[in-house]
C-alpha cells in the first residue's frame, strides 16, 4: 500500500469537493490533524471511518486503498490489489506494534530490579529484558530481502547490528555502575574472610591491585561512545567501528582476568553477565563490520 499515493488521492478528492481539511474532518468525525497525516502519507484512515470517508468523497474503499479511480477495465485487478495490500499493511503494523512492545517490555524488565538489587542480588529479569529488547529491534528492522533491494537490506542489517550493540553496551554500563560487580576479598584473621563488592567504576578495587573492573568499565564507555558516533555519522565509520571492536575485545579480556588472576571467588553474577554482554556486543559489531566491507 502506497500511503503517499493514497494521501495525494484523498487530497485531490477533498479539493474537488471544495472542502478544507478541517471541513472534511468535521464531516467524518476526526481531527484536521488526522486528515493532514493521511494526505502527507504518514497514516491511513481507520477502518471504522473508511465507509463515511468514501461516502463524503464519493469513491469506493478499493479506490481509496489503491489511490486511484477504477474503470471497467481495471476494477477487478485493483480490487485484488487492494485486498493484498491491505493484508500486507495489517501484517506490517502488527509487526511494528510487536517490536515496540518487546522493546518497552525489555527496558521495563531491565530497569525494574534496580530498586531491589542491593537487597535481593542480581535478577534474571536483566537477561530477559536484554533478550526482549534485542528481539524488538530485530522485529522492527527485519525485512524480506530480494535481489533488487539486497543492498538496502544489507545497510539495514548493519544499522540494526550497531543499534543492538549500543543497547548491549547501555545495559552493560548499568550493570557496571551497580555495587555488586567487582569483588575484594579480605582476611581479617586466620579463619575469617570478608568478601566485599563494589561498582566497576570504583577506585577502591583499583587501589587494591584489582585493576581489571575499572579498565573494563573505561573501555566499555569508550566503545559505547564510538558506536554512538558511528550511528550518528552513518558514513565513513570504518575506523570508528574498528576502534570500538578493539576496545570491546580488550574489555572482554579484562572482564575475565579477575578469575584468571585471583580465582572464581572474584567474579560475581553481575560480572558474569557483563562478560556475556560484552561477548554478544562483539558478535553484533562483527556483523556490522562484515556488512561494511561487503
Q: Would you say the pTM of this structure is higher than 0.75? A: no
**What does the pLDDT read at residue 217?**
93
- The domain ranges of the chain are 3-69, 148-293
Confidence at 214, pLDDT banded by 50, 70, 90: very high
Which of the pair, 125 or 161, is modelled with greater confidence? 161
- State how far the Cα of 65 lies from the Cα of 44, in Å rounded to an integer: 9
Contact 172, 192 (CB under 8 A): no
- The answer as to CATH 1.20.140 being correct for domain 148-293 is yes
Q: Give the least confident one: 55-59, 159-163, 268-272.
A: 159-163
With CA atoms as reference, report the closest residue to 53 among 65, 42, 70, 71: 65
The dihedrals phi and psi of 232, each to the nearest 5 degrees, come to: -70, -45
Residue 8 pLDDT greater than 70, yes or no: yes
Question: Which CATH code fits 3-69?
Answer: 1.10.260.40
* pLDDT tens per residue across span 58-94: 887 777 777 777 665 555 555 555 555 565 565 666 6
Contact 107, 130 (CB under 8 A): no
Amino acid at each position: 500500500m502506497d500511503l503517499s499515493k493514497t494521501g495525494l488521492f484523498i487530497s485531490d478528492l477533498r479539493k474537488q469537493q471544495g472542502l478544507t481539511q478541517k471541513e472534511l474532518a468535521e464531516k467524518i468525525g476526526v481531527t484536521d490533524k488526522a486528515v493532514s497525516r493521511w494526505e502527507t502519507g504518514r497514516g491511513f484512515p481507520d477502518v471504522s471511518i473508511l465507509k463515511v470517508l468514501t461516502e463524503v468523497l464519493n469513491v469506493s474503499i478499493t479506490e481509496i486503498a489503491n489511490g486511484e479511480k477504477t474503470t471497467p477495465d481495471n476494477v477487478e485487478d485493483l480490487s485484488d490489489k487492494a485486498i493484498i495490500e491491505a493484508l500486507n499493511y495489517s501484517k506490517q503494523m502488527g509487526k511494528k506494534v510487536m517490536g515496540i512492545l518487546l522493546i518497552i517490555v525489555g527496558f521495563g524488565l531491565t530497569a525494574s530490579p534496580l530498586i531491589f538489587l542491593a537487597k535481593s542480588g542480581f535478577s534474571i529479569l536483566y537477561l530477559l529484558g536484554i533478550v526482549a529488547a534485542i528481539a524488538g529491534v530485530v522485529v522492527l528492522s527485519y525485512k524480506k530481502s530480494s535481489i533488487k533491494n539486497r543492498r538496502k537490506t544489507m545497510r539495514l542489517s548493519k544499522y540494526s547490528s550497531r543499534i543492538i550493540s549500543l543497547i548491549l553496551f547501555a545495559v552493560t554500563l548499568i550493570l557496571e555502575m551497580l555495587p555488586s560487580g567487582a569483588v575484594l576479598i579480605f582476611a581479617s584473621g586466620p579463619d575469617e574472610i570478608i568478601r566485599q563488592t563494589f561498582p566497576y567504576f570504583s577506585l577502591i578495587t583499583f587501589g587494591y591491585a584489582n585493576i581489571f573492573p575499572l579498565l573494563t568499565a573505561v573501555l566499555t564507555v569508550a566503545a559505547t561512545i564510538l558506536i554512538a558516533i558511528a550511528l550518528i555519522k552513518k558514513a565513513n565509520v570504518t575506523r570508528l567501528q574498528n576502534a570500538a571492536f578493539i576496545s570491546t575485545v580488550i574489555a572482554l579480556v579484562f572482564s575475565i582476568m579477575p578469575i584468571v588472576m585471583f580465582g572464581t571467588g572474584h567474579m560475581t553474577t553481575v560480572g558474569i553477565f557483563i562478560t556475556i554482554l560484552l561477548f554478544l556486543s562483539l558478535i553484533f559489531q562483527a556483523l556490522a563490520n562484515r556488512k561494511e566491507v561487503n
